[in-house]
Amino acid sequence: MLDRALFLIAEGFRNLLRHKLTVFAAVFSVFLTMIIIGSLFIVGKNTNKLIYYLRTKYKIEVFFEADLAKEEALDVVKQIESFPGVRNTTFIDKENATKIFKKQFGENILDYIQRNPLPMSCVINLNRTGDYELDIMPIVTRIESLSGIDNIEHQGKLIQRIEGFHNRFTTIFSVVSIGIILITISIISNTIKLTIYAKKDLIQDLHIIGATNAFVKVPFLIEGILQGFIGSFIAFLVLSLFLQIGNNILTQFSSMTIRMDPAAASWMLLIGISISFIGSLRALARFLP
């Protein structure tokens, strides 16, 4: 039993050498597919990281009217703090504003101007998980409706644009990947059909010496798995190489690196192997029901 299983596995390996042309075609199809899907995956993963980072940085800055009393301003801050979605606030009075100014510009503004021109302000941090899209516009509108506020600054428009881009990318990524996977499965299934068709006599002979359908099928399936493994492994190596080169260039400009994590690598292998395995299974179903 075990010897027979080993024989069938060995046959799967030998088939790789016997069907060089179709093996090449199938491996190449898997390779191309996994290069495309792998690239999309890497781009997606890294925009994800960027989005995550941006989401945790979302904040709103409120500048109060110059003639507002500090108590009134603190009242407004209290109100803002009670809004849903607001995590905490940091109130900056005029003295602190000058300190910040001094820190940033290295000079005391009061040396130049008698009256402190800096308004009181408040930084509003939002509840942030990074996992979800954040819609800050409702909070902004509510703050706008409060009195005593001169100006609100936030990155709402930019954030919305990035989120929108990210959503669109995710959808396109899924659709394109599924499309490519289906196309590849059908290409591989047709390639393997050619192999099997060319081996019709052999299969008949196997049946004549008492081989079960499983005995005939297993080597083809193992061949399929190996093709998928080889194709996606080469794709993985090539992508890693390109990433390496890309990162070397990137580190000259910034501290950001793009990487391929082990999870991504396993996914690539898994998808590649599944594509080729399903392709083989489909081809075999035609000839050996």
Partner 1 sequence: MENVTYSYEKGYGVKNVNFTIDDAEFTFLIGPTGAGKTTIMKLIYMALIPQSGVVTTGRFRSDKIKKRKIPFLRRSVGMIFQEYHLLRDRNLYENIALPLYVIGTRHSEIEDRVENMIDQVGLVGKEDHTPDELSGGEQQRACIARALVKDPEIILADEPTGNLDPITSFELLKLLEAVNHEGTAVLMASHNYNLIKGRGHRIMEIQQGLLRKN
- In what helix (H) or strand (E) does residue 88 lie, and over which residues does it extend? strand 86-92
> Nearer Cβ to partner 1, position 107 or 205?
205
CA atoms of 78 and 233, how far apart (whole Å): 58
Q: Least distance from C-beta 5 to partner 1, angstroms?
A: 9
Among 166, 207, 240, 282, binds partner 1 (CB under 8 A): 207
Strand 121-126 relative to strand 59-64: parallel, antiparallel, unpaired? antiparallel
CA atoms of 280 and 217, how far apart (whole Å): 9
Among 113, 209, 249, 263, binds partner 1 (CB under 8 A): 209
- Residue-wise burial string across 118-127, b where 16 or more C-beta atoms lie within 10 A, e elsewhere: bbbbbebebe
> Nearer Cβ to partner 1, position 139 or 226?
226
* By the rule CB under 8 A, 131 interacts with partner 1: no
* By the rule CB under 8 A, 175 interacts with partner 1: no
Residue pair 107/86 in contact by the 8 Å Cβ criterion? no
CA atoms of 24 and 15, how far apart (whole Å): 12
* By the rule CB under 8 A, 249 interacts with partner 1: no
Q: Least distance from C-beta 196 to partner 1, angstroms?
A: 14
* By the rule CB under 8 A, 6 interacts with partner 1: yes
**Amino acid at site 5:** A
Among 215, 229, 242, 267, binds partner 1 (CB under 8 A): 215
State which of positions 15-34 bind partner 1 (CB under 8 A).
18
CA atoms of 220 and 230, how far apart (whole Å): 15
Kindly indicate which of the ranges 68-76, 84-92, 165-173, 200-208 contains the residues binding partner 1, using the contact rule CB under 8 A.
Answer: 200-208
CA atoms of 23 and 21, how far apart (whole Å): 5
* By the rule CB under 8 A, 53 interacts with partner 1: no
Total residues at interface with partner 1 (CB under 8 A): 19
Kindly indicate which of the ranges 65-73, 85-93, 156-164, 212-220 contains the residues binding partner 1, using the contact rule CB under 8 A.
Answer: 212-220
Among 211, 237, 241, 270, binds partner 1 (CB under 8 A): 211
Nearest of 182, 165, 166, 163 to residue 37 by alpha carbon = 182
Binding stretches for partner 1 (CB under 8 A): 1, 3-4, 6-8, 18, 201-202, 205-213, 215
